[in-house]
Structures are given as structure tokens and as C-alpha cells.
Structure 1
Amino acid sequence: MKNFYKVFIFLFMIYAIFMSYYLFQTHQALPSSYAGGPADPATFMTSQQLQTATIFSRIKDFLFFMGVPWEWAIYLFVLGTGLSTAFYFIAKKIHKRSLFLQASIYVFLLSIVMFLLQFPLKYYSYKVSRDYGISVQPFEAWMTDQGKSILLDLVITIPMVWILYTIIRKSPKKWWFWFWLISIPLTIMMYFIQPVVIDPIFNDFQSLQNQELKGEILALAERADIPADQVYQVNMSKKTTAMNAYVTGIGSNARIVLWDTTLNKLEKDEILFIMAHEMGHYVYHHIYWMLLGSIIASFFLFYFVYRLVHWVVRRFGHYWGIERVAELNSLPVFLLLLSLLNFTISPIENTISRYSERAADEYGIRMTHNPDAAIRSFQKLTINSLTEPNPPELVKVFLYTHPTMVERLYTISNETKQIQKQNTEKRTKE
């Protein structure tokens, strides 16, 4: 095991050096076909704005690429130092019979360790956002949100861990399948309660104050057959200068939401395009497809975890004090494998997401008949949020659920040219 940890540390250092060089020493060339058009950053950003956005984005990207293996390192640390087994013994000592209480104590102790060891990266990410003016949230408010996240995670995780280990003990060979079945209604419930229960815990929602804009947005929603009679604005300006808008929820819980930063920084026609784009996700049932995809992906994830976790415990369990998979001290092994597998499949998920975002862009333009507003909104989003317009390929593959800004702008400008050409040819024939 000592050799294993030495190899892991060595590989982590090599990986960190490679990612540092890749992100801070390489330049992603802009395709020649983009030059001089709306997708060319030089046409809508100053050299200083582009440089600042690039540096900020690369730092945040580096923190992401360090954060993922650091999470794996924490799980290995908890296992290798015997903390996981110590937490389990503490939980059993406090209550010998109740698996739910044991799971509650164990998950609480593990969560505290995870938070403390991940805190330096989280805090540095927050500090970078503050230094570059993206975050305006005071440290105390930021810490309050961190505390809320921990409590919410505990409320969700403890019952799931209890269910998992109860099923493992009752069905050692089929637990992955039964747990997957139980996870389906729980996943659907999360989609349903997210906008009305969870989101308000972190942000203040109120009815959109601009009645004229509200009427035009609801008119778009009516044309899109979205069952909404209200538009919400959320007070994000106390936390960030970034902009956002979204349509979320399923069924009667569907919500149209605008950040107040978006309201303050975009023109009305730009806001209407953004909202039409978000409505495109609803019209194309992207939320339902995402839900279905999540359910299907979890089926394979749980199966592969089942195949791997037993092998890992047989191979390394005696080093970690883990006798059986059915014991709570094996939980970090589950979490490590899930994290590894999720990271592995993230490029596939991101590719699918980028496809749905392109479809929503097209829908937004068709709804508003205003590609110029679409171009202006994306250009302003790029400048305001310090988004790198043309990020490196690895960043796009692992982080981007949306097309890059240069890709979005280039696609929209090309579609605009084609529409204009078709209209010209049609008028000529007439």
C-alpha cells in the first residue's frame, strides 16, 4: 500500500505539472474562418478584456482539474489512515443496533473531513472570483452558503447511505439493481422539488418587477405552450456580477427565472432572446431527456461500481480495516469509484449537453427573429462573466456543457447569413 500511495502522489504531481503547462503555456488558435466576424473576440473585446478573461478562466479551469484528483486523494487518505474504520467504530459505539443512526454519525464525520480538506481549493476559487470582480459576496455570506450546502448534503446523503447498506445486507448480489430502482423515484422527486424547495434556500425569489418585460416573456411562454403564469427574478447581485436565466422544474413546478444582474445589464431584446433560448429547453423536453439520461447512466454506474467495489475490498480491504462491502467503512470506496466513473463519462454528458444548447440557440432565434440580439447577448455575457471565448480543447471536453462562445457566435452569424441569402433570393424571384 505504501508503494501504491507513492505512485499516486508521483502521478498527481506529474499531472499537476502537465495541466499547469497545458493551461498557462498553450494558446488555442482561432480558426481562420472566424477572423473578422462576430465570433472573433477582437471585434467585441479589447485586448485587456481578452487577456483578463483568459487568465481568470485558466485559473478556474486549473482549480477544477486539480480538484477532481484531490477528491480521490482525500478518499484514499481517509481509507489509508484508518479514519474510515475509526469513524465506523465511533458510530457503532454510540449506537450498536440502528443502522440509520450509525450511517448518520459516519456520514457526518466523513463530511466534516471532506469539507476541511477541500476547503483550501474552494476558498481560493472564491478569492479568485472576488479578486476579478465576479463574486461580490462577503466572506461571511459565502461561508453561510457553504454551511447550508453541508446541511443539505447531509439531509440527502444520510438516507441514501442508509438505504444502500440496508439493501447490500439483504441482497449482496443484486443490491446495485434494487438500489437503482429505488433511486429512480428519488431522482424524479429531486427534479420536482429543486425549484420550489432547494433553490429558495440559497437565493431570494420574487415576482418580476418590470411588468412590461414580464408580459412579453409570458407571451413567449404562451407561444411555446409553457404552462407558466409567473416570471421570477432572483437577487443575485448581492453575490455575483455574472448573468444567468433559466427555465426549470417539471410539470406544474416549471419556473421561468431571471437573475437581476441579467435584467440590469442586457437590453430588452437581448433578454427576450435569452428567455426564448431557455424556453427551447422546455419545448424540446431537454429536462425530461436529461432525467432519462441520468436514470440510464446511473444503471450502468451502479453496475460497474458493484463489479469494482467487491474486487477493491478483496484486494485492499485488509489494509484499510474493511472486512466486508456491507460495512459502513467501505463508503469511501463507493464514493471514489463513483467519482472516477463520473469523471470518465463527463465528456459524453457534456457533448450531449452542448448539442441541446445549440438546439436551444436555434429555437431562440426562430422565436424572436432577432439574431443580432442573440449575438449581442453572447458577446456581453462573454465580457461580463470573464468567459474565455476560445478555451483549450481539454477544457471544452471536460468542463463545457455549452458550446464555446466563439462556436455559438459563429454558428448564429452563419445561420443569419443563410437566412438573409434565402430572403434575398426569394425577393428576387418575386
Structure 2
Amino acid sequence: MAFASVLGFLANLESSIGLEAFPKYRQEGAEKSDAPFLLFFVGFTLLVYLLETYLDLRQHRNLKAGTPPPTLLEVLKTVDEDNKGLEAVSKVESKFSASQAYGLDKSRFHFFDSTFDLVVGLTTNLLGWMPWLWDVSSGLVAKAGLGDWGGDIPTSLTFVVLTMVLQTLIGLPFSLYSTFVVEAKHGFNKQTLGLFFADKVKSMLLTVVISVPVLSCVLKIIELGGKHFYVYVWAFMFCFSILMLTIVPTVIMPMFNTYSPLEDGELKSSIENLAKRVSFPLTNLFSVDGSKRSAHSNAYFYGFFKNKRIVLYDTLIKQADTNEIVSILGHELGHWKMSHTLQGFVISQTYLLASFCAFGLATELGESLRLSFGYSTSATLITLYLFFAVMWAPVDHLLGVFMNVLSRKNEFEADAYAVKLGYSKGLQSGLVKLQLENLGNMNPDPWYSAFHYSHPPLVERLQAMRTDIGIKRE
């Protein structure tokens, strides 16, 4: 009764503010819905936008500060015992204005980008652009003579491909501005226009080639799986995830970058010694030409069981010395030693199973959900799309915050692992150097970073390496 009362209240509210007149375009036979899902979507979208904009404004204010935060400078003075702490303070002070300018440019761009996304998201749903695109897709399938093949699957696939293409075209000016104006202004972009568009085309083709058969299978499994379809969908997606973990680093990523065996020398020997020390089953060491796209740096490992590979960006090799790189890899291997990667995989698979289970429980609301957005079709894809975009959205956002909290906890643990291996000095100086080279945010707002950052701010990591229980200063 309470739930029915809430629905009745929301339905009256939807009518009183005029939302019952939307969406403007409705498919033939799409009557008014008896549930206020459109109102919920609009309200939740605005709520998230206002919350994130408030946090962005807090961070934007911090980016206008003219001097580094005193806490950061005090911590930097203790980076190590060889007077490099004072050297780090000097470098931070000299780079601070450049970091702030880079952050302000990204912040201004983000305000415009996020507002544009809000307007597009609301107007397309209020005007009924997506139901219209479904009708266009259905017409194209009929003209191609595929209307009697596979039920709604041909129309569903056409709809998805058209949506991806249109979203890419809409976002293209923003991507170009971010890459060739913001990133280029601060010396990070190394791409040419030709490489930029080649990447876009390859990414789009790969997405279509991979997503079309996968989506076809998911829709077919839902159709034939009965009331426990979510178990079969999860099993299929689990196998697909394993496949992607295998082919992405070995097949797909080499389509975009060149991976070369790391040259013999001090760096290679030091990394191999680290791997032996912690029993990391290292089989290959690669350097990747990340510098042909960006001056930002990175390092990561991948592989299953006894077949692990480490990849270093050439930018990282140029920006940090051997001890710092090995110290940073000590942190990365800490993630492996404490099973953080496996933890993330288990969480993602649990989330996937839970989301499809919830979708199964909510299927009885499918018709009301579709009617709220102007659809008369009963296609599984539309119900699935609307469920994740509307009903599951709050769960998605809460999980995102939880995952950031968990990620920051894991980063502290990996730092502690590297410190216990004896890499405190190298890790601290390496983190400071990468922060400076990448013009990272040196003055984060605590609320903003808590909500958005998957990694703790630099000052918190340096403090933890000095004060965490059981971690002694070298």
C-alpha cells in the first residue's frame, strides 16, 4: 500500500509539472504509462548533475589558489633523508602554477561538457528521440528484407550501431577540443589529426565487431533462458570476460601501439630481480610507445596464473630513474600479492549477476517502463536499456562511490607493501616526480577527491608511508 501511495503521489506530481505531455514522439500504440518512470529519470539525472556540479565548483575554487597547500609542503620535506625533500618542495612550488592552470582548463571544459551531456540526455528522452530511432532502425531492417529473421534482434543490432555512431559524432567536437586544445596547450598531446581519426575508426569498428555477436547472444539467452535466464547470461558474460582479458592486451591493444621487449640493461635486470624476490611469475617485459599519443605515463601488468607480463610506457622510462620505476612496480606487484585484481574481478562478476537478477525481478514493470519513454515495442533490448538507464542508475552511482573507497584502500595497502620491501624512498620520490611531470592536482578538495578519485591524493599517500602503523621510516 505504501509503495502504491508513493507511485500515486509521483504520478500526480508528474502531471502537475507537465511531464505527462512527454515524450513528444511516441511509437504507434504507446499509451500513457501508469508509472512515473520518466519523472524519476529526470529528477535523478538533475540530482546527480547538481551534486557533481557542486563538487566541481569546490574543486574549481581550489584550483584558483596561488600557492601550494602548506600540508603538502610539510610532507614533501620528509620525502627522504638525502635533502631531496627540500628539492621536491622547490620543484612543487615551481610547477604549482602550471598544474593549477592545467586543472582550471580541464575544469572549465568539464563544466561545459557535463552541461551539454545533461541537455542532450534530457532532451532526447523528453522529445522521444530514441523511440524514433528505433522506428528508423525497424524501417531499415524491413527494407533490407531482414524483418522476419531473428525476431527483434536485427532491429536491436541496427539500433545499437546507429546509437553508437550518433553518440560518437555528437561527442567528436568535445574529444577534438580536449585533445588538440586542452591537452596540447599544456604539452601533453602528441597525436596528429590522422592518428586521432584512425583511432576513432578502429575503435568504432572493433566495438561493432565485438558487441554485435555478444549482444545477439545475450538477447537470445534472455529470450530462451526462462525465469533463471540471468544465471545463463552471467555464465556467458563470465566466459566473455575471460576471453577479453586474454585478447585485449595481446590482440587489440597492439593494433593501437607498438610493444617492444624491454632492452637489456640495469632497468630490466632490476625488475627481474624484484619479480624473483616476490615470486611474481614474470615471463615478458615490454615497453610501449605511449608517447606517440600523450606525454602522460603509466605502467601495468597482465596475464593469467604463471604467465605474467609487465608493460612500461616509454614516457615513464624517460620521466623516472631505475630505482623509482622499480619502486613503482613494487607498488603494482603489491596489488597482485594482495589479490586486488582478483578482488575487482569477483566484484564485477557479482555485480553483473546481481544486475541481471534484478532485471529479471523487474520485468513485470517492463511495459510501464517502456510506455513512460514512448515505446510500444516489447523488444528485450529496450527493456534492458531502460532498466539500466533508469531503475538501476542509483545502484550504479552508489557502487561507483564504493569502488572508489575500496580502490583508495587498496592503493594504501599496495604502497605499504612496497615500503615493507624497502622501496619507501624510491616510491615517494617517484610519485612526486610523476605528479609533477603529469601536472597532477596538487590541491584537491577533500569532498571532490572522496567522491571522484580512485587513487588517494599525493599528500595522503606520502603521509601514510610515514605514519601508518607498522611502517617505519627508513
- Range of TM-score over shorter length: 0.7 to 0.9
Local SS of the residue matching 2:283: coil
In the TM superposition, what is the alpha-carbon distance from 1:311 to its structure 2 partner? 2.5
Aligned-partner Cα distance in 2 for 1:78–1:211: 61
Which residue of structure 1 lines up, in the alignment, with residue 464 of structure 2?
A: 411
Matches within 5 A, 1:77-226: 79-80=129-130, 82-94=132-144, 95-99=146-150, 101-126=154-179, 127-171=181-225, 173-226=227-280
1:268 aligned to 2:318? no
1:277 to 331, 335, 343: 331
Aligned-partner Cα distance in 2 for 1:402–1:315: 37
Aligned-partner Cα distance in 2 for 1:231–1:152: 26
Which residue of structure 2 lines up, in the alignment, with residue 45 of structure 1?
A: 92
CA gap of 1:16–1:252, structure 2 versus 1, over 3 A, is: closer
Aligned-partner Cα distance in 1 for 2:465–2:407: 18
In the TM superposition, what is the alpha-carbon distance from 1:251 to its structure 2 partner? 2.5
Matches within 5 A, 1:183-332: 183-308=237-362, 311=365, 313-317=367-371, 320-326=374-380, 328-330=381-383, 332=385
Local SS of the residue matching 1:175: helix
CA contact (8 A) 1:206 1:233 kept: yes
1:21 aligned to 2:57? yes
In the TM superposition, what is the alpha-carbon distance from 1:347 to its structure 2 partner? 0.8
TM-score (normalised: structure 1): 0.84
Aligned-partner Cα distance in 2 for 1:39–1:58: 29
CA gap of 1:105–1:376, structure 2 versus 1, over 3 A, is: same
Q: Deviations over 1:276-314 (max 9, x none)?
A: 111222222222221111101111222334445652542
Local SS of the residue matching 1:237: helix
TM-score (normalised: structure 2): 0.77
State the identity %: 22
Which residue of structure 1 lines up, in the alignment, with residue 435 of structure 2?
A: 382
In the TM superposition, what is the alpha-carbon distance from 1:379 to its structure 2 partner? 0.9
CA contact (8 A) 1:227 1:254 kept: yes
Aligned-partner Cα distance in 1 for 2:133–2:61: 39
CA contact (8 A) 2:92 2:436 kept: yes
CA contact (8 A) 1:134 1:241 kept: yes
Q: Deviations over 1:189-210 (max 9, x none)?
A: 2222222122212211010124
CA gap of 1:388–1:17, structure 2 versus 1, over 3 A, is: closer
Local SS of the residue matching 1:255: strand
Moved more, 404-413 or 79-88: 79-88
Moved more, 264-273 or 223-232: 223-232
In the TM superposition, what is the alpha-carbon distance from 1:55 to its structure 2 partner? 1.8
In the TM superposition, what is the alpha-carbon distance from 1:134 to its structure 2 partner? 1.7
Moved more, 267-276 or 130-139: 130-139
The one-letter code matched in structure 2 to 1:130 is A
Task: Quote the RMSD (CA, aligned, Å).
Answer: 3.5
Q: How many residues align?
A: 419
Larger Rg: 2
CA gap of 1:319–1:274, structure 2 versus 1, over 3 A, is: closer
State the 4+ residue runs in structure 1 displaced beyond 6 angstroms. Answer: 27-32
CA contact (8 A) 2:404 2:452 kept: yes
CA contact (8 A) 1:91 1:103 kept: no
The one-letter code matched in structure 2 to 1:91 is V
